[in-house]
Structure 1
Amino acid sequence: MEDFNPNFVNLTPENLASEHLCCIIRSKKLHPGVEAKRQWLSDRLKEGHVFRKLDAKAAVFIEYAPLETAWVPITGDNYYYLYCLWATGSYKGKGYGKALLQYCVADAKAKGKSGICMLGAKKQKAWLTDQSFAKKFGFEVVDTTPNGYELLALTFDGTTPRFAPNAKAETIENNELTVYYDMQCPYILQTIEMLKQYCEVNSVPLSLVPVDTLQKAKELPCVFNNWAVFYKRKFETVNLLLDPNNLKRILKK
């Protein structure tokens, strides 16, 4: 077996403008979603947010932040929140994900954190980190929501985080197709444009709610990783891949 010593790069205020952001890689033409995420990150890095990626044109990265400043309706003391961990395409299954998660664990311990937590589900959901992979590292379910989402945690001191009570509400007053979103993911802008076009063509009322402050994120009435969809007052999904077929399934309810 050949030596495994990948070269990773952490984004910093100094290199943020020049480094690609993994999910949507453009070498020349700027992508609006990437630039929106770059701006979002510029404000988050000073809060201890970590974006670590393989030094290659590949979607191989981990993204996490102190739970206190993570844009999710989860409460807990002295934890890291793991937003994303991806190793895709030809890089999958070759140890990159393991190396990235090991880095996060070591970082958390070095900073005296109580543990690391992440969003999961009873059945693996698209656009969420592979929870079976995380469980191999010792992550365990510490809280659940009525519709099957789970909070997984790797605890170092026996303490555990929890979903905020409001995250378990899973209802809103608006009957329209309603989407809460922030600018963390580069795919969000293009998904919003697709939604607007679909709803306009099909005469579907649409309400878009930007989550543009930490307080708004902490007070959301559902689980959230950067995106959440409601229809007829009920929470539906955090799946960002809302193609027309997925939309039709939701709108038939």
Structure 2
Amino acid sequence: MNIKNVTLDNIDHEHICCAIVDKKGDTGVSSKKAWLKQRFADGLVFKKLDVRGKVFIEYIPAEFAWCPLHADHYMHINCFWVSGQFKGQGYANQLLAECIADAKARGKMGITVLSSTKKMPFLSDPSYLKHKGFMVADTASPYYELLYLPFGDNAPVPQFRESAKKGTTEETGMVLYYSNQCPHTDKYAPLLQQIAEQRGTTVKLIRFETTEQAQQAPAPFTTYSFFFDGEFVTNEIWSEKKFIKFLDEKGFEAILHQEK
């Protein structure tokens, strides 16, 4: 099977892998495709196996990455995913090799990718990347690792921006920072608001609309970062069930509506 480039010319009819389904009326897929279209001019590349499955790599020059880092002259991997029946067949190696070759052809000094001390949802697998030669360049609270693969001994070591290292924000209450870099956020971010209102409380949604905004984020994962009372909680895109569990733990009880 071939590796295909998703481009401005074919994105409207291509399956973008990370979306579970492309149902009529599902705004998640269209929001992700709109986000991609805006990034192609910045040099973003989306490569996928020519199948309807989660087998793809998405990367962009680091100066345009929606991640708060300093990594001039690097290529940054936004998302790298091989799952299901396609695991163990060499596709991850093939996709990564194409990314490395492309980065070198563009004169980059290496590759960066956001990961974690152990495998976490929605973050690249640190074990695989370290096996392929990636090293830890920097860390951020509570579990983030910025991994890098330098192409030479003189390549500078990338770093997170200071704004993202502590895992704190000046915002109070429940706050979700997110972007349309993932198709699922368009559904699940408003869902938090709806559920919170049923508990008599609120979630402040802060959506990153520009590269500059994302690069000043208070946490490395700008796709989805949930904070409570100024402290980072999770990067996992919560389902309704998981958010309700969090609210229960924090004492936000459901409001009982009684008929008059």
- What corresponds to 1:144 in structure 2? 139
Aligned to 1:54: 49
Could you tell me whether the CA contact under 8 Å between 1:83 and 1:225 is conserved in 2?
Answer: no
In percent, how many aligned pairs have the same letter?
38
Q: Pick from 216, 237, 241: which aligns with 1:219?
A: 216
- Give the aligned partner of residue 248 of structure 1: 245
Please report how far the alpha carbon of residue 246 of structure 1 lies from its aligned counterpart in structure 2 after TM superposition: 5.1
Taking structure 1 as reference, are residues 243 and 126 closer, same or farther at Cα in structure 2, changes over 3 Å only? Answer: farther
Unaligned runs of 5+ in 1: 1-5
Taking the aligned partners of 2:160 and 2:248, their CA distance within structure 1 comes to 28
Cα distance in 2 for residues equivalent to 1:189 and 1:75: 28
Q: Which of the residues 60, 63, 69 maps onto 1:68?
A: 63
Question: Which residue of structure 2 aligns with residue 193 of structure 1?
Answer: 190
Q: TM-score, normalised by structure 1?
A: 0.92
Query: How much does 1:90 deviate?
Result: 0.9
Larger Rg: 2
Change in CA separation of 1:26 and 1:240 when aligned onto 2, cut-off 3 Å? closer
Match of 2:82 among 76, 82, 87: 87
Q: Which runs of 4 or more aligned residues in structure 1 lie more than 2 Å from their structure 2 counterparts after TM superposition?
A: 25-31, 241-253
Q: What's the CA shift for 1:241? A: 3.5
What CA distance in whole angstroms lies between the structure 2 residues aligned with 1:47 and 1:135?
A: 28
Alignment length (residue pairs): 248
- How far did 1:204 drift? 2.7
Q: 1:15 aligns with which of 10, 19, 40?
A: 10
2:98 is equivalent to residue 103 of structure 1? yes
Residue aligned with 1:17, SS: helix
Note the C-alpha offset of 1:248. 2.8
Q: Displacement of 1:27 after TM fit?
A: 6.0
Distance 1:234 1:36 in 2: 28
| 1:230 aligned onto 2:191 | no
1:24: which partner in 2? 19
